[in-house]
Structure 1
Amino acid sequence: MLIIKLNPGKEKKIKNGYPWIFSDEIKSIDGEKKVGEICNIFSNDYEFIGKGFYSNTNIAVRVITLKDEEINYELFKKKIEKAIKKRVDFNDSYRLIHGEADGLPGLIADKYNDFIVIQFRNVGMENYKKEILESIIELLKPSGIYERSDFETSTKEPIKRNIGVLYGIEPPEKLIIKEHEIKYYVDIKKGQKTGFFFDQRDSRLFFRSLIKKDSLVLDGYTFTGGFAFNAALTGAKKVIALDKDKESIEMARKNAELNNIKNIDFIETRYENYIKNYTGEKFDVIVLDPPSLIKKKQERRKGVEIFKSITELSIDHLKTGGILGICSCAFQADISLLIESTRRAYFALGKDIQVVGLTFQSLDHPWIIQIPESNYLKCLWFKIY
């Protein structure tokens, strides 16, 4: 077991619930520096602070407990049981475990009806796979647990890229889940992330309130149709839904058939290419939910320019009094960045920009105030005059 001694004062944020210790906050390390190793954390005055997983990255320690307790089955069961209780009001499909926000750094699990899809995002958590699986099986008794640790990452940790059944039966090629009375096919084996973006649940519901009867709506990054379906079923006369990914568009079309929705045109294309060449009727509503565009704090200026550029493309195609929704799924692209990029895009034309809504990730992706990074998803909704 490693012994980590912190620089003076660096224990305060950990005591307050922040789960990351950065490499430059460590004064000394005693023991073999093995990635994933459990470490005891002490202040500069040798006060015990907690335990965590060691890593050879900028985030040198991920704290798992502030108590002097064993890291074992009982600990994981207790934490997973707490995560389940937080989500007692959700339906059969939701984010079950959300990493640091549930006190389980690097562990992601989504529940799709009776199946669990799981990701191990660091070696420390991966080392306790057996205890984690046993806890989930005991608490939820799922039909199957499927691993999707094939995520993109820049970490130097030697994480195994496992994909496949960990417990129970093989999941079907496509599951059907329901959100806000809309049915979705989900491919948990090959779909993006673990197959579905549960984090936009609340934003999709709010989006309905912005749709007036006979609206013309553009969903610029539709994935499998989430915003598009909510517009179509709330009174829009027509929705145009775009995505550059062929498989996502095909799944969106199947979802439309599943719900007998016929007023959506699904087009496999990039939003930027489509809108530059669009010559049709102006839109009442445009929603833009692009993939993560910036990864690092140093890329913030770049992020402003990227969001400004995709926002500018909407200017000539949005009616006066129309609604523009801009979403960011990156912590580094915060609310002020979205506001700045939209202001710069529209202000030069003498447009008034009124904020009519602000939504965040749904409650199964907890935003913990001691962990600023847990507030990663935000959507700003504007009315443009």
Structure 2
Amino acid sequence: MNKIILNKGKDKAAWQLHPWIFSGAIARVSETLQNGDIASVYNHDDEFIAYGMYNNQSRVAVRLLEWDPRKEINESWWRDRLQRAVKNRLHLLNEKNNTVRLVFAEADFLPGLIADKYGDYISIQVHAAGMERIKSILVDELNLLLKPKGIYERSDLKSREYEGLPDDNGLRSGETPPAFVDIIENGILYQVNIVEGQKSGFYCDQRDNRYITAKYAKDKKVLDCFCYSGGFTLNAFRENASSVTSVDSSALAIETLKQNIELNGYDSSKHVAVQSDVNKYLRELGEQGEKFDLIILDPPKYAPSRSTLEKASRAYKDLNRRGLMLLNSGGLLATFSCSGAMDIDTFKQVIAWAALDAGKEIQFIYQYCQPEDHPVRASFNEGEYLKGLLVRVL
């Protein structure tokens, strides 16, 4: 087995089961060690800590997998880990929901792997060199466990560049997904574009939050920003919103949303779909004196790292300031951040600053989080990326 020795004093996090070892923590490695190899990790005193996947091109040089020295990282180990991850989600699949995240990378001890079930198809993303090597094993096990019509890979993530990996999209098993795959979430029908849509095709991490937010939409005038294929919009119509305006910069997202409105039989006369930059559109609404009862702000990741947090905080503040200024008295703002670098306390402070600049008094009345198929591992706080606040304007 290849061996990695850590610098003195750089082993604390690894002993505490944190799955990442950064390149600066490594003293030396075996000469035979290649990127993607499994290696035994030892501290400065030559004590075994864990097994992990190595990659000298990545800032996260080792992704730890197993702390029990009696175990062997072989095909059976990989299959067992995947089986456990899938088993923990099966109860979420029913007649009202056939979409779920099957594997959430480090949270499931499978760093570098995302797998999502969309109806009869599975979409996977691989963003670690070691996981790339055993991808065929994982695809085979997913076939055995769930027997999907097809497994399609969408590995076009920025993180692959940091791992020294090129983009890799394509069919890995079975049938190529059609242009639009039919799924159901919260009893609502969607058409999902796995091959060309954003991320792996859909944002199932907002499943619970869509349902919760929609409970406030009855008879309300709703504005859904960064709407993508309409998750919050469709849930609002299910709860009898009086009208919904949906905004996204993507033409494909807007077209898919319109199809989803029709698919569910909702009244399109109560819906306005706008392809626009959200910040620009919010400014225009403010100039027109428009007001809403419920606004959803679900932007993309503004803070991919801690080094960008200050700039991202300003962007979040400006976005939310514009949203708050468009709300009627007593109106609600459901605002989200999917930036792992921004914790909930910082996010609350940003929203408080936004309210101050907007001249609004607010209350935080609910705190959103990611659903159970996106679990947070106790030793890996970085996995807690999605947070949100339901804000009432007084």
- Report the TM range for the smaller structure's normalisation: over 0.9
CA distance in 1, matches of 2:130, 2:352: 43
CA RMSD, 1 decimal: 1.6
Q: Which of 90-99 and 272-281 deviates more?
A: 272-281
Letter in 2 for 1:65: E
The residue number in structure 2 matching 1:62 is: 63
Q: Which residue of 1 aligns with 2:236?
A: 231
What is the match of residue 191 of structure 1?
Answer: 197
Cα drift, residue 280 of structure 1: 5.0
- TM-score (norm: length of structure 2): 0.93
Deviations 1:218-276 (A, max 9, x none): 11110000111111221210010000110000000000000111222111111111121
Aligned to 1:88: 90
Structure-1 separation of matches of 2:194 and 2:175: 14
Residue of 156, 169, 174 corresponding to 2:175 = 169
Deviation at 1:9, TM superposition (A): 4.1
Shift of 1:11: 3.0
1:1-385 superposed matches below 5 A: 1-56=1-56, 57-68=58-69, 69-91=71-93, 92-153=98-159, 155-211=161-217, 213-262=218-267, 263-278=270-285, 279-348=288-357, 350-385=359-394
Shift of 1:163: 1.6
Return the alpha-carbon distance in structure 2 between the equivalents of residues 185 and 365 of structure 1.
22
Determine if contact 1:50/1:66 at 8 Å carries over to the other structure.
yes
Secondary structure, aligned partner of 1:70: coil
User: Which 5+ residue runs of structure 2 have no aligned equivalent?
Assistant: none
How much has 1:62 moved relative to structure 2?
Answer: 0.3
Q: Deviations over 1:314-366 (max 9, x none)?
A: 23311111111211111012212321221112124553221111111111111
Q: Does the CA-based 8 Å contact 1:326-1:338 persist in structure 2?
A: no
Match of 2:73, SS state, is: coil
Stretch moving more, 149-158 or 92-101: 149-158
Q: CA deviation at 1:75?
A: 0.7
Question: % of aligned pairs identical?
Answer: 36
Q: How many angstroms does 1:381 deviate by?
A: 1.1
Give me the whole-angstrom Cα distance separating, in 2, the residues matched to 1:171 and 1:31: 43
Aligned to 1:277, the other structure's residue is in SS state helix
Unmatched runs of 5 consecutive residues or more in structure 1 = none
In the superposition, the TM-score normalised over structure 1's length comes to: 0.95
Letter in 1 for 2:49: I
More helix by share: 2
Secondary structure, counterpart of 2:216 in structure 1 = coil
Following the alignment from structure 2 to structure 1, what is the Cα–Cα distance between the partners of residues 262 and 158? Answer: 31
